[in-house]
Amino acid sequence: MALLTPLFAFLYHLPQVYKWLLKPYYVASLFMSIAFLVVRKTPGICDHLATQREDGNSCDFDWREVEILMFLSAIVMMKNRRAITVEQHVGNIILFSKVANVILFFRLDVRMGLLYLTLCIVFLMTCKPPLYMGPEYIKYFSDKTIDDELDRDSRVTWIVEFFANWSPECQSFASVYADLSLKYNCAGLKFGKVDIGRYGEVSKKYKVSTSPLSKQLPSLVLFQGGKEVMRRPQVDKKGRAVSWSFTEENIIREFNLNELYQNSKKLNKTRGDKISQSRFPAVPEEEEPVQQGADTQGEESESKKDK
């Protein structure tokens, strides 16, 4: 299953792979991930490399290098069991491939190891994973607007994500959260985001830690009537987040989005009925002129009888 899960995820998101090829971050990461393989297998370069093989073939992996690569594969499979999106799968492969390359280059030659490590540091400081730029129905809050929006209408339910741009987990979750907003956003159920890495006061007020050790990023909080109803992940007494997977299925089930959406649609329908009634008030019924004439004739006859 550890092998089938990333394979199925890759095949399902295969159209997105072509989009990645157009982004410099993934192209550069791919070349850095296979750097040792290229050096070891390229004729003219591998001929001058050291090797521990008995046959002296320096253009092939020795037994120690094979062990390191196998150990890398095992770690990647373990990490990918908890991965949600294909971006996380690819990110884990790239990360541990670079770690393996550092070890292999240092084992081969200290100078090559230092050169590769320097390239990794420069790449980490200058290149960031591309942010999600797809469609979404999400309102972005600041420290000055979040309280006003949550308290503006008590009938509106808000699901707010507390995130930080530097967090890889938040970057991977962005596409999942955007898809949920496209499916469930309506007048009575809205989605919001606030960058607590930028607004520290919001982080303190809503008790969401930005420390990587707390593992509270991202955090989803459900607000009804301006008050917090539930949040995921939950936090224990030590301030650490209880392990929880941010999959679309888990969010729909835990936050009961289907029921919230149906109730919000009913609220929207009642609002529309009230608005139509206020725009087109009921017209009072007019009395029939014939009946009025008959009444006046009756009154005249009664007055004549009295006389």
E strand spans, the chain: 138-141, 157-163, 189-195, 219-224, 227-232
| Shared-domain flag, residues 114 and 174 | no
pTM: 0.69
Beta strand pairing call for 219-224 and 227-232: antiparallel
In degrees rounded to 5, what are phi and psi of residue 94? -65, -45
Number of domains in the chain: 2
In degrees rounded to 5, what are phi and psi of residue 185? -70, 135
| Shared-domain flag, residues 29 and 120 | yes
Q: Does residue 292 register a pLDDT over 90?
A: no
Read off the pLDDT of residues 133-179 as tens digits, 9 standing for 90 and up: 888 999 999 999 999 999 998 889 999 999 998 888 888 899 899 99
Q: What is the pLDDT of residue 114?
A: 94
- 268 belongs to a structural domain: no
- 269 belongs to a structural domain: no
Strand partners, 190: 158
Percentage above 70 pLDDT, the chain? 78
| Shared-domain flag, residues 117 and 151 | no
The first and second tokens of residue 306, run together, are: 């009295």
Walk across the sheet containing 157-163 and list its strands: 138-141, 189-195, 157-163, 219-224, 227-232
Give residue 98's domain range.
Answer: 4-126
Q: What is the pLDDT of residue 252?
A: 94
Is the Cα dihedral 255, 259, 265, 271 positive or negative?
negative
| Shared-domain flag, residues 150 and 178 | yes
| Shared-domain flag, residues 69 and 169 | no
- 42 belongs to a structural domain: yes
| Shared-domain flag, residues 14 and 63 | yes
- 282 belongs to a structural domain: no
The first and second tokens of residue 243, run together, are: 């392990």
| Shared-domain flag, residues 104 and 207 | no
Longest pairwise C-alpha distance within the chain: 143
Pairwise CA distance, residues 49 & 51, whole Å: 7
- 257 belongs to a structural domain: yes
CATH of the domain at 179: 3.40.30.10
Q: Mean pLDDT throughout 221-239? A: 89
| Shared-domain flag, residues 253 and 200 | yes
